[in-house]
Chains A and B, each alone.
Chain A
């Protein structure tokens, strides 16, 4: 059966995911070492050790994301995070930075390494490079690939692949995007945040509602209509004669119906995005996906409408997987 890798932004969400049947949970320390560095989220060292013990007692794994790019001059902060994850009993660490991978491979030879989506390893040559150089055991694939491309990649590599199936959707190659820092000074790579809430402003302007990021107008909707969060790549812009979502509509990813195809493509693990989500949300999504993964394993059709409630009010897309981008 494919492994279901579920998000946990808090110890409560970790327990909810484990209780709902998650095979593995991923989470991070409460600092800039992980790419969901949001206020009120993530784990202290003590919480991490407790969370891992809770998961292990119930047969689930914990993967610790240390997937920002260490700041020059401050590498020890990231090195300590790797050492602490190992000490807490993590089943693997999820890393993106070459230097940090080299450090972990050399200093923590017993620690299993996963390659973060933030490393943007999008072809077999890149994946094999990480496998040969650092002994990486699993790679989280960027969300820019089609199912056919994933199938082809799996034929040429020996490491496991993990793909995102639900939640937020990056349309740019992840870990290679500075749109957020161009507008706000804070980036996923350096600060673990994208389009951060600290730089968001909502206002009413002549009967319309506006959402700005770093002072730039990203959305304008009629009064009463929902105003999407102003994530840069899902904003509404004008280019020449055209006005609209130049990069991507404000949609989220739902590849539920592609689970059998992904399984056939040789994918080892399915990942759910959403470490910023509540434990109630995490529990619901995990239960739904457990059912889907079990059905796929038995060759049964995907249960219909499982996630309808969770995507209510927001359009969903299969992203690049279904090849519409080509």
Chain B
């Protein structure tokens, strides 16, 4: 089992992006997916960083793919998606319509917000050229194991959401803009104020969700820190780590060490992310927010 880093979900400045990928190149992860995943309006602010980041990551020996948006509706977004296929990198589709732009049989990856729930879907995608699939975070371990077996037979590496706030929903409406009484078209990029997303609490003060523009994530950090052996036994090829603003290189190193047998990953994560809440219910077939194997 190895480590993949997914695309950054949040709106960071170009400088933050540059520093993030420069530091990531030094970490023991095998592959990185880069690109704008959540909102097409953000891309012009940081897209000039992509070529340099790709080069640095490739120089460091990492496989690099470029992601599609998670929800493609506008004509401009469809053109952007078509352009991805011209970049000379594998495309990770996070909206099925991106497949339209990939020549039949050309290899591609599938991201965690494409619905791959069963063998039939995995096999259909494999026939179209999928070589790597990150499964939806809500899947229980029994499904993960069945899909890892099907993936093995079909030549598809199966990846699982390993670390990060889980992407729970995507909408046509921007909740950051709505919180500022603005429409999406006049958002003034307020999501940039919250580099790990904006906290949403229940009325009695419980931390619950995170708003990130048109995306909604869980507030607790989903982690498989307590389930690594079960995932290895299930035949999972990689764990996906999702970018966050603080301590990410250290977090990646902690997962790499745990894959090599280092003990107490949950304890290490708690030290690296003071005050964070963690959860791991989805894999156990429980509410995603539950803590089951974290000890």
A interface, CB within 8 angstroms of B: 69-73, 75, 96-100, 102-103, 120-126, 128-129, 142, 144-145, 149, 152, 171-173, 175-179, 181-185, 187, 189-190, 214, 216-218, 220, 233, 236-240, 242-243, 246-248, 320, 324-326
B interface majority secondary structure: mixed
Please pick, from A97, A172, A183, A184, the residue contacting B170 in the complex, using a CB distance under 8 A. Answer: A172
Q: Specify which chain A residues have a CB less than 8 angstroms from the CB of B199 in the assembled complex.
A: 239-240
Q: Specify which chain B residues have a CB less than 8 angstroms from the CB of A178 in the assembled complex.
A: 136-138, 166-169, 288
With CB as the reference atom, state the residue of chain A lying closest to B170: A173
A213 CA to B203 CA, complexed, in Å: 13
Q: Specify which chain B residues have a CB less than 8 angstroms from the CB of A240 in the assembled complex.
A: 179, 198-199
Q: Which among B117, B122, B124, B198 has the greatest number of chain A C-beta atoms within 10 A?
A: B117
Q: A98-B121, A125-B97 are in contact. Are A179 and B168 (CB under 8 A)?
A: yes
Distance in Å from the Cβ of A65 to the closest Cβ of chain B? 16
Q: A72-B142, A178-B168 are in contact. Are A99 and B216 (CB under 8 A)?
A: no
Mask of B91-112 contacts with A, CB within 8 angstroms, 1/0: 0000111111100000000000
Q: A102-B124, A173-B169, A182-B218 are in contact. Are A214 and B287 (CB under 8 A)?
A: yes
B282 close to A (CB within 8 Å): yes
Q: Specify which chain B residues have a CB less than 8 angstroms from the CB of A324 in the assembled complex.
A: 183
Q: Are A129 and B99 in contact (CB under 8 A)?
A: yes
Q: Specify which chain A residues have a CB less than 8 angstroms from the CB of B285 in the assembled complex.
A: 185
Q: Specify which chain A residues have a CB less than 8 angstroms from the CB of B125 in the assembled complex.
A: 98
Q: Are B201 and A99 in contact (CB under 8 A)?
A: no
Please pick, from B136, B184, B200, B206, the residue contacting A217 in the complex, using a CB distance under 8 A. Answer: B206
Distance in Å from the Cβ of B72 to the closest Cβ of chain A? 5
B259 close to A (CB within 8 Å): no
Flag the segment in B11-19, B42-50, B143-151, B235-243 that touches A. B143-151
B36 close to A (CB within 8 Å): no
Given contacts A238-B202, A239-B211, 18 further A-B contacts (CB under 8 A): A69-B118, A72-B147, A97-B115, A103-B120, A122-B72, A123-B73, A123-B77, A125-B72, A125-B78, A144-B171, A171-B173, A173-B170, A178-B138, A179-B168, A182-B289, A189-B117, A214-B289, A247-B178
Q: Are B166 and A242 in contact (CB under 8 A)?
A: no
Q: Specify which chain B residues have a CB less than 8 angstroms from the CB of A185 in the assembled complex.
A: 281, 285-288, 290
Q: Are B71 and A173 in contact (CB under 8 A)?
A: yes
Distance in Å from the Cβ of A116 to the closest Cβ of chain B? 11
Q: Are B289 and A183 in contact (CB under 8 A)?
A: yes
B251 close to A (CB within 8 Å): no
Q: Are A247 and B120 in contact (CB under 8 A)?
A: no
Q: Specify which chain B residues have a CB less than 8 angstroms from the CB of A179 in the assembled complex.
A: 168-169, 209, 216
Place the interface of chain B in its size category. Answer: 35 or more
Distance in Å from the Cβ of A82 to the closest Cβ of chain B? 12
Q: A172-B216, A178-B137 are in contact. Are A126 and B118 (CB under 8 A)?
A: no
Q: Specify which chain A residues have a CB less than 8 angstroms from the CB of B201 in the assembled complex.
A: 237-239
B172 close to A (CB within 8 Å): yes
Q: Are B175 and A246 in contact (CB under 8 A)?
A: yes
Q: Specify which chain A residues have a CB less than 8 angstroms from the CB of B189 in the assembled complex.
A: none
B177-219 contacts to A (CB < 8 Å): 178-179, 183-185, 198-206, 208-209, 211, 216, 218
Q: Specify which chain A residues have a CB less than 8 angstroms from the CB of B159 in the assembled complex.
A: none
Q: A237-B209, A238-B202, A243-B203 are in contact. Are A177 and B143 (CB under 8 A)?
A: no
Q: Are B208 and A71 in contact (CB under 8 A)?
A: no
Q: Specify which chain A residues have a CB less than 8 angstroms from the CB of B205 in the assembled complex.
A: 238
With CB as the reference atom, state the residue of chain B lying closest to A134: B124
Q: Are B211 and A246 in contact (CB under 8 A)?
A: yes
A122 CA to B120 CA, complexed, in Å: 23
Q: A177-B168, A238-B202 are in contact. Are A97 and B121 (CB under 8 A)?
A: yes
With CB as the reference atom, state the residue of chain B lying closest to A214: B287
B119 close to A (CB within 8 Å): yes
